[in-house]
A and B are shown apart, each in its own frame.
Chain A
Amino acid sequence: MSGNNQKSGCGCNKLAPTEDAPVPSVSRRNLLLKLGAGLNALAGLLIGVPVFGYVLSTFSKNSPRTWVSLGDLNHFPEGNTRLAVFQNPVTKPWDGDTNEVPCWVRRVEGERFQVFAINCTHLGCPVRWFQQSRLFMCPCHGGVFYEDGSHASGPPPRGLFEYQHKVEGGELKILGGNLPTLAEPT
């Protein structure tokens, strides 16, 4: 029955209806169905677009980077490499300890610095500095880096990530704000 009705309902055949009643109601039902489906598609877009926009809002290439201070220059004696901690520039009230980010500061001489990310370039584990052998070692898969951050041995594909830095008003500042990865090294 429904098959027949649909045929006549689409209006392509000008067959006389076999019975008088059903035809107009069927085509009306069809119209309502299409209208209903169309309205729902529209409604779906109305909700779907904002939902996707909300969920994918962080799917962007840029991370907000700001100059943050690592403290007074005198904290970093020449020829030494020391752990420093900075506040992530973007914070939320419930960040807890996670907004404090560590990094390694090497003061080569005078105002020449190198600031390395704590994250191993292999898979992001925290590398540790060994003053005696002047090496960074990673506890996860055994990556090793020289004191200038270059790759010494093990699986890491490159040397340590370096932050851009500058000396301003007697303070060492770095451009912080993102977790360095191979896709976004600084």
Chain B
Amino acid sequence: MFRSLALWFESRLHLVKVFEATAGHKVPPSTNSWFYVFGSGTLLCFVLQIITGICLALVYIPSTSEAWPSLQYLNNQQFLGAFLRAVHNWGSIFMVAIMSLHLVQTFLFGAYKYPRELTWVSGCILFLCTLGMAFTGQVLRFDQDAYWGLGIGASIMGRVPFIGAQLVHLMLAGSIIAGETLSRFFTMHVFVVPGMIIALLSLHLRLVLTKGINEYPTPGRLVSKESYENEYEEAVKKTGVPFVPNVIGKDLIFSAFLVVAIVTCALVFGPAGPNGPPNPTLIHTAPKPDFYFLPVYAILALLPAYMETFLLLVAPVVGIAILVLLPFYSGTGEKSYRRRPMAVVIVVLAFLTVGTLAYLGTFAPWSPQMEAWSAAPTPVDYIKNRSGLELQGALLIQGKQCRNCHSLNGEGGQRGPALDTVATRLTPDELIRQVIQGSGNMPAYGKNLSPAEVSALVAFMGTLRPAYQPPARDSTQSVRLPPKDLRATR
């Protein structure tokens, strides 16, 4: 009965043929490796994102006035709404992470080389689309961060020469962030970019079938355009094994592990936000991007201002071009990372750079701590046995917001140097100059402090040194001593 039913379908759909041409296609046995599971892992994340995304869209309202309440509803009232939001959020984080591993693996294994150029190119565009999903998704979580994040996007667009204003208007669907802006991002996130991803993914997988999957590279075995395809085909014919059922096992195990990991993270950490309502008049906020854009956030604080616009606009284009065109200038030759030391160095450097920037981005030492001046206590040791003038200076260091950028005893901003031992580094004269004129990242306080206030401030800072360390000395003093009568008054 069952068999005859199966045969009936087979005679209509030719499923065996379809299977042999797709899931059951033959692959080199060397690809049965744990290094080859990241592509299917990314696909799994994508499917998970589609499923959870459709679920969220059942409740979410893409309207500036109602998005935030509908997110609150999802979090607090909708049955399992918070869980699905959490899975969608963690699914996106895992998708970016696993996709990055897939990119690194294919790069290190030379998979981009002849004849798989298009596989690489389509993969790179898929990576960019995924980052696009991450950014637009962050906007759909329409809260304070999303609102100001849009402002940041617009500010970056506004730096484009000639058509900057037009691009800003196109991005915001108008000249300010308002009603139509969110609809625009909703359309991108839900229709346009996923459509592109599905189309590119089809191409990507089609290419895996037509040009085969990259064999596990053997050091010393070079790719040449003349012989590679014949060699590959022969090898697959001779020793190839069907992907299903021989090779898919590891993919399945990894995918199951991924689902468990995503669900666990979702259960433990819960959904992301939304934080404060997207009301632009609530300005007591410090917008921060999601995890994926922390490196960008960090680099924008650390770059010298003069190269910022250049790096914002030109570097991504050049970087993407170098990445996408990789198979066209390095399409043959050695595949194995064991004989491509530069490839390994590039990967390590990229990880270190992105990792360090993301790490810095998480606690943003360059941001002034807006509440430190009124909230951080003055360490008791720093005001014990101090003169009235020095105590007045201690008050000024709070009252004039110095601590928003300078820490005392570890509390306060880190934009400027900590002041705990400032007296060992700067003489009173240098302190006065620094306070009045500022320099580097410090604004000049000359207009905003009276001479008496400056004296008090400098008197207090003059006490900020450990007892065992001498105060900073003016190096010119031993050479050019002031006349005797002046010295007496000092």
Q: Give CA–CA (A94, B180) in the complex, Å.
A: 9
A94 to B178, CA, bound (A): 9
* CB-based contact A98/B168 at 8 Å: no
The stretch that binds B, out of A4-12, A30-38, A73-81, A173-181, is A173-181
Q: Which residues of A contact B447 (CB under 8 A)?
A: 134, 146
Between-chain CB contacts (< 8 Å), 21 pairs:
A56-B170, A61-B169, A64-B175, A94-B179, A96-B63, A97-B281, A123-B300, A124-B152, A125-B151, A126-B283, A139-B367, A140-B367, A156-B305, A177-B175, A178-B176, A179-B154, A179-B172, A181-B164, A183-B157, A183-B168, A184-B164
Q: Distance in Å from the Cβ of A29 to the closest Cβ of chain B?
A: 30
Question: 0/1 per residue, A47-67, Cβ < 8 Å to B?
Answer: 000000000101111011000
Question: 5 new A-B pairs (CB below 8 Å) besides A90-B175, A146-B447, A182-B155?
Answer: A63-B175, A90-B176, A128-B283, A141-B300, A142-B301
**Contact flag A97-B441 (CB < 8 Å), given A61-B166, A177-B176, A179-B168:** no
Interface size class of B (residues with CB under 8 A): 35 or more
Asked if A157 lies at the interface with its beta carbon under 8 angstroms from chain B, I say yes
Per a CB cutoff under 8 Å, which of A90, A101, A122, A157 touches B174? A90
A119–B284 Cα distance when bound, in Å, is 13
Which residues of A does B touch, CB under 8 Å?
56, 58-61, 63-64, 83, 85, 88, 90-102, 118-119, 122-126, 128, 130, 132-135, 137-142, 144, 146-147, 152-157, 177-179, 181-184
- Bound complex: CA A123 to CA B147 (Å): 13
Whose C-beta in chain A lies nearest to the C-beta of B400? A133
- What is the CA–CA distance of A64 and B174 in the complex, to the nearest angstrom? 9
Nearest-neighbour CB distance to chain B for A83, whole angstroms, equals: 7
Given known A64-B175, A95-B178, A130-B401, contact A100–B170 (CB-CB < 8 A): no
Q: Which 7 A-B pairs have the closest CB atoms?
A: A181-B158, A96-B65, A183-B164, A63-B175, A152-B443, A124-B151, A92-B179
Contact A125 B415 (CB under 8 A): no
**Beta-carbon contact of B64 and A96 below 8 Å:** yes
In the bound complex, what is the Cα–Cα distance between A166 and B442 (angstroms)? 34
Q: How far is the CA of A59 from the CA of B65 in the complex (A)?
A: 24
Are B178 and A142 in contact, with the CB atoms below 8 A? no
Bound Cα distance from A118 to B404, whole angstroms: 19
List the B side residues contacting A140 at CB < 8 Å. Answer: 152, 286-287, 297, 301, 367
